[in-house]
Structure formats: structure tokens, C-alpha cells
Amino acid sequence: MKFASAVASALLLMIASNAHGAEARAQIAIARQRIEATDSRATGRLVQVDASGNRISNAVTIKAHWFPGVLRVLVEIVPTRTPAQNAPLDARASILLEMRPNGENTIRIFHPHTAPATLPFNKWGESVFGSYFNYEDFLQAEYFWQGQTILKTALLGTHSCDVLKSTPGPSDRSHYAEVQTWLDQTTGYPLYVEKTLKEGGTVKDFTSLGLTQSGGIWAARQVEVKIHDRPGSTLLIIERGSTKANLTAKNFSPEEIGKFEDHP
């Protein structure tokens, strides 16, 4: 009887493992399809909020498009120019990120009057303009990492979600040890994300709010980033945009990006 019970338990564990594996593959397929359908343009503000509620706001434009084998994301930041924050125009920056499923990702930084510079990997974890976003956060590479597991099903407000755990493989360059993503079972959209840094085990969480749908594509109007045990937060607030922006390779060419005089 004990032997039969042990065999039955082993079979149940195998069935559960296979089921979770199938769920992970299905969710990853949906997430990758969402990324491979990317053709978006958004403008808004990147706002750092301190413990007292004081805000530092920078204008931001994000363009993203999936080309065969590569996601290109262009983040353009213009610091606020007010009497209290009289940032020079030369403080403007454009960040070109390229994410490839094979892990060969690159990040380049453009500033006015200087040649673009490739950001070395050891700086990918640095803050973007004093925010809680780092450069790597815009790559979305975790959906293409080797390790993918469904941990559980959980409620997030009124949304039923599959919690996906992603871990980088040997060829996946990342400052994160793991990423857990709450994927809405209805839309497949990542409503909440927890990222654990390799160094120190610090956890960052990303909450998407104000979901909208256009042409079958879901997007969030706001993403809030918090770092555990650290006060304040960062808000990425989208004021307008399009999920079908008809972007082309020219929009991401170094020559086009370097034309800072064409930007406000």
C-alpha cells in the first residue's frame, strides 16, 4: 500500500509539474507575441516622488518597435526647465535600447553635441535620471530568458493572474537574479512585477494602472516603481500615445536620434 501510495504521489507531482510547464509555455508565448507586435509611441512624464511627496518631473517620449529578431526602444528625456529647475538643454538624453532573444542586447546613450556612447553592462543597473527605473528595465528581456516557471495563480484586485517566475541563463546578461510577473489571465498583460537584484537581494516592484485597449493591444497609462525599504517612488505617466505608430527603422537610426535640434 505504501508503495502504491508513493507511486500515486509521484504521478500526481509529475502531472502537476507538466501542467505548470504547459501553463508557463502558454503564458510565455502570449508575452512574446505581445512584444513582437510592438509598434508604439508614447509621451508623458517621468516623475520621482520623495518621502515628503515632493516631485521632480522630466518630460519623456518612448518609441518602441519590433523588427525581425530585435526590439528597439528609444527613450527620450527632456529635463523640466523652470526657475527652480533651470536645466540646460544639453542635459537632454536619448537612450536607444536593443533587445534580442539570444541575449545580445545593447544600450546606447545620445547627448547633444557628443558622439553616442555604448553603455557598458556594469552600468545597466544605474538610475535613469534619478528615477527608480534603471536602463535594463526598458529591455523586457526577462520573457526571453531560459528559466520560465508558473509559481501559482493569484488574485490581484479583481484580476486572476498567473505568477510567472523568470530567471536568466548563462547567456542572459542581467543585474536581476529573478523576475516574478503577475500576468492577467484574461489579457495576458503584466499587471504587477517584482524584480530581485543579484547584488544585495533588493526587490523592486512595478505596478501598472489605467489599462486601455486599442486595436486589440493593451497598454497602461501609468507605471509606478517602488524599491522595498526605500521611501518614495517613480511614476511613468503616459499622457498620450498610440499602439500602432507605424514606426520604421529610420526612427531608430543614430542619424535621426542625434538631431536634437528637432526636439522641443
In the structure, what pLDDT confidence band is assigned to residue 214 with cuts at 50, 70 and 90?
confident
Taking residue 263's Cβ as centre, other Cβ atoms within 10 Å add up to 14
3-class secondary structure per residue, the chain: CHHHHHHHHHHHHHHHHHHHHHHHHHHHHHHHHHHHCCEEEEEEEEEEECCCCCEEEEEEEEEEEEECCEEEEEEEEEECECCCCECCHHHCEEEEEEECCCCCCEEEEECCCCCCEECCHHHCCCECCCCCCEHHHHCCHHHHCCEEEEEEEEEECCEEEEEEEEECCCCCCCCEEEEEEEEECCCCCEEEEEEEECCCCCEEEEEEEEEEEECCEEEEEEEEEEECCCCCEEEEEEEEEECCCCCCHHHHCHHHHCCHHHCC
Residue written as grid cell 547584488? 199
In the structure, what pLDDT confidence band is assigned to residue 24 with cuts at 50, 70 and 90?
confident
Distance of CA 140 to the CA centre of its chain: 4
Q: What pTM does this model have?
A: 0.86
% of the chain with per-residue pLDDT over 70: 87
Burial string for 31-43 (b: 16+ CB within 10 Å, else e) reads: beebbeebbbbbe
Residue written as grid cell 488574485? 155
Question: Looking at the chain, how many residues does it have?
Answer: 264
**Which tens digits make up the pLDDT trace of 36-65?**
999 999 999 999 999 999 999 999 999 999
What is the radius of gyration, based on Cα positions, of the chain?
20
**Which tens digits make up the pLDDT trace of 85-96?**
544 446 789 999
Residue 15 one-letter amino acid:
I
Q: Is the dihedral of CA 68, 125, 208, 94 positive or negative?
A: negative
d(CA 250, CA 257): 9
What domains are defined for the chain?
22-262 (2.50.20.10)
d(CA 95, CA 73): 8
- Evaluate if residue 8 carries a pLDDT over 90: no
